[in-house]
Amino acid sequence: MIANEGIGRFRMISKIPTLNAQGQGMRTYLSVFLLVLAFTAAAQEYARNGMVVSASQLASDVGVEILKDGGNAVDAAVATAFALAVTWPSAGNIGGGGFIVYRKHTGEVTTFDFREKAPAAATPTMYLDEHGNLIKDLNHLSALAVGVPGTVAGLYDAHRLYGKLPWSRVVRPAVRLARRGFAYTYGLYHDAIAHEQTWKKLPSTAAVMFRDGTTLYQPGEKWRQPDLARTLARIKRQGKAGFYSGKTAEKLVLFIQSQGGIITLKDLADYEARERKPVTGTYRGYEIYSMPPPSSGGITLIQMLNILEGFDLKTYGHNSATYVHVVSEAMRRGYANRALHLGDPDFNPDIPVDKLISKSYAEELRSTIKLDTVSVSDPAAFTQPYESPSTTHLSVVDKEGNAVSLTYTLEYAYGSQMVADGLGFFLNNEMGDFNPVPGVTNEDGLIGTAPNLIAPGKRMLSSMTPTILVKDGKLFMLIGSPGGRSIIGTVLQVILNVVDHEMDIATAIEAGRFYHQWLPNVIIHEKYSLSNDTRALLTELGHNMRRITQQGAAMGIVVDVSKGVLSGHADSRSPDGGVAGY
Ligand code: DON
């Protein structure tokens, strides 16, 4: 373990001459900017009265119809989320969990935590063999990996407290999409090819995801999901009870237990979503509202923004070597504190939230960042568990200016890969977000620290970062993304792109991204995000570099109050994503 918090975990190593931000940095900036322009597939879209941005154009259309019908942002977000469970089932869900940040046009901000919970029979060592070793895949690809789902409870409570239209009106479009079907998309086809062999081994999944249970659907072909339609119809009629009790609950428990899982009817009946206060901060005059624990997103985002506020990022240039270095060092510090301190607040009452998001602590951390020096992440401390990329975010603004930023997930794409027999929806594998081996921390990605160990009824730590920005008391921006731990880095960079680099929302979202998650000690970056000379400078400075294809899929809206215009963009990294407005 480490002796002191924060600073002690970042030893200074290599020293080379300071990068010249105006010289090499600016050349890099120009070449990357051109790359970004070439890579920007879609322009932002505009609307005056209301807008929905999500990972599925069909689902965004559902949301905007609700707005036109007199619904508010909460109604539209709930309808869009249910529709995504039909049209974007890799992450859109009723079998998973997530978070909502909601800002009323009057300025109050609240959040909903509908993160999954560990079942009552869960134990800290449930994924270990008799020698104390982690059993491969048990916490990710098995019925034991399923957490008690939270989505239906969270959407229901948010709607009950803040929605305007009847519940049945906001669930109905999803029922129809499932019952009548819709044209199978290229995005779904692409995913199905990747998962074909796994799904073939699971009869209840194959029955839903393949034509006649055996053959891939083709793009353009009608895809109907009758079991899911019946489940959604029960939720439409009975509200939360249509999921957590009665037929749905009975079938769900029967299926999970038949596969070796431990979720009981009582676990379902006991599940409750929580309304929580947002975590708040400021950045260069913007107010930031984001998700508190059990998400690590808000605290870590605000901590990184506080650190970065003291650097002249604009002068460094977007994705110049100096910029990437400084932002990565801020991330390193934020992610280290995430691993050390954060977990379910109901089980960790002493999380030092005020300190972690304070300007004075950020100043302390900032003073350890040098332009000519790379810190190291102390491997004697601890590492973090693997989190895969599949989650989804949606942003909604209505005519009055109410705003919903919602991120939810099944954890992996299609979660545990298991469709509940006869119910038509995928079950999450969110238990994999807990630290699985108590006390054991190593370079392979295990972390054994206490705040995020498994306990009955506990919520696993998340990185989801649904966020809202306010400027001069007025709604300014909504943003969020999938991507596991990279989510916080993605949301951070879209904010920096808009605030520091003055990009419009489409350019800010499309721009190449990177992140540093403390351990492993490497800057992970998209293949088109950094030029070779930038990479070379960063390597020379002492950073480890790794290329990936894609980081996240952000869905954002910016409000131009002076013109009365909403501009939105669905990340082109999300194949079926789309903006709908009116
Ligand atoms: O809650 C979390 O942080 C993760 N389970 C999210 C996983 C994720 O984002 C995968 N997404 N693309």
Residue pLDDT, tens place only, 188-230: 999 999 999 999 999 999 999 999 999 999 999 999 999 999 9
For ligand 1, atom 9, the nearest C-alpha belongs to 484
Asked if residues 420 and 480 have their Cβ atoms less than 8 Å apart, the reply is no
The predicted pLDDT at position 13 comes to 31
The predicted pLDDT at position 445 comes to 57
In a domain, 467, yes or no: no
Adjacent-strand bridge partners of 223: 182
Pocket test for ligand 1, best of 151, 411, 460 (most atoms within 8 A of CB): 411
Q: What is the mean pLDDT of residues 97-105?
A: 98
For ligand 1, atom 6, the nearest C-alpha belongs to 484
CA of 552, closest atom in ligand 1: 12
The separation between the first and the last C-alpha atoms of the chain, rounded to the nearest angstrom, is 54
The predicted pLDDT at position 36 comes to 39
Question: Judging by DSSP bridges, how do beta strands 391-397 and 51-54 pair with one another?
Answer: antiparallel
Residue 394 has phi, psi (to 5 degrees) of: -135, 145
123 annotated active-site: no
In a domain, 547, yes or no: no
Ligand 1 centroid, distance to 225 Cα (angstroms): 25
* Domains contained in the chain, number: 1
In a domain, 518, yes or no: no
- C-alpha closest to that of 148 among 458, 541, 565: 458
pLDDT for 245-264, tens place per residue?
A: 999 999 999 999 999 999 99
The predicted pLDDT at position 148 comes to 99
pLDDT for 164-177, tens place per residue?
A: 999 999 999 999 99
CA of 296, closest atom in ligand 1: 3
Q: What is the mean pLDDT of residues 396-419?
A: 98
Q: What is the mean pLDDT of residues 151-160?
A: 99
Residue 339 pLDDT grade (very low, low, confident, very high; cuts 50, 70, 90)? confident
Q: Which residue has the higher pLDDT, 297 or 336?
A: 297
CA of 430, closest atom in ligand 1: 5
CA of 432, closest atom in ligand 1: 5
The predicted pLDDT at position 4 comes to 27
Residue 41 pLDDT grade (very low, low, confident, very high; cuts 50, 70, 90)? very low
Catalytic, out of 231, 391, 392, 409:
391
The identity of residue 580, as a single letter, is A
Adjacent-strand bridge partners of 101: 111, 405
Instruction: List C-alpha distances in Å: 172 to 32, 82, 83, 503.
Output: 45, 9, 9, 38
The predicted pLDDT at position 240 comes to 98
The predicted pLDDT at position 291 comes to 98
Question: Judging by DSSP bridges, how do beta strands 545-548 and 523-526 pair with one another?
Answer: parallel
Residue 448 pLDDT grade (very low, low, confident, very high; cuts 50, 70, 90)? confident
Ligand 1 centroid, distance to 303 Cα (angstroms): 20
Residue 449 pLDDT grade (very low, low, confident, very high; cuts 50, 70, 90)? confident
The predicted pLDDT at position 444 comes to 59
In a domain, 194, yes or no: yes
Residue 532 burial (CB < 10 Å; 0-12/13-18/19+)? Answer: exposed
Q: What is the mean pLDDT of residues 327-331?
A: 98
In a domain, 471, yes or no: no
Ligand 1 centroid, distance to 91 Cα (angstroms): 9
Question: Judging by DSSP bridges, how do beta strands 403-409 and 523-526 pair with one another?
Answer: unpaired
Q: Which residues line ligand 1 (CB under 6 A)?
A: 387-391, 409, 411, 430, 433, 462-464, 482-484, 487
Ligand 1 centroid, distance to 484 Cα (angstroms): 4
Quick check: helix, strand or coil at residue 182? strand
Q: What does pLDDT average to over the chain?
A: 91
From CA 120, how far away is CA 129, in angstroms rounded? 20
Q: What is the mean pLDDT of residues 460-464?
A: 97
Ligand 1 centroid, distance to 184 Cα (angstroms): 25
pLDDT for 63-83, tens place per residue?
A: 999 999 999 999 999 999 999
For ligand 1, atom 5, the nearest C-alpha belongs to 411
In a domain, 529, yes or no: no
Ligand 1 centroid, distance to 299 Cα (angstroms): 17
CA of 485, closest atom in ligand 1: 3
The predicted pLDDT at position 489 comes to 98
In a domain, 183, yes or no: yes
Q: Residue 141 pLDDT more than 70?
A: yes
| DSSP-assigned letters across all residues of 212-267 | TTTEE--TTSEE--HHHHHHHHHHHHHTTHHHHSHHHHHHHHHHHHHTT----HHH
Q: What is the mean pLDDT of residues 4-33?
A: 34
Ligand 1 centroid, distance to 411 Cα (angstroms): 5
For ligand 1, atom 8, the nearest C-alpha belongs to 484
> What does DSSP assign to residue 296?
S
Ligand 1 centroid, distance to 104 Cα (angstroms): 27
Residue 520 pLDDT grade (very low, low, confident, very high; cuts 50, 70, 90)? confident
In a domain, 153, yes or no: yes
The half-sphere exposure of 535 on its side-chain side, counting CA atoms within 13 A, is: 16
Asked if residues 117 and 148 have their Cβ atoms less than 8 Å apart, the reply is yes
- C-alpha closest to that of 232 among 91, 428, 79, 416: 79
Q: Residue 154 pLDDT more than 60?
A: yes
For ligand 1, atom 1, the nearest C-alpha belongs to 462
pLDDT for 282-298, tens place per residue?
A: 999 999 999 999 999 99
For ligand 1, atom 11, the nearest C-alpha belongs to 390
Quote the percentage of the chain above a pLDDT of 70. 90
CA of 297, closest atom in ligand 1: 3
Domain extent at residue 189: 66-96+111-271+408-440
Q: What is the pTM of this model?
A: 0.92
Residue 441 pLDDT grade (very low, low, confident, very high; cuts 50, 70, 90)? low
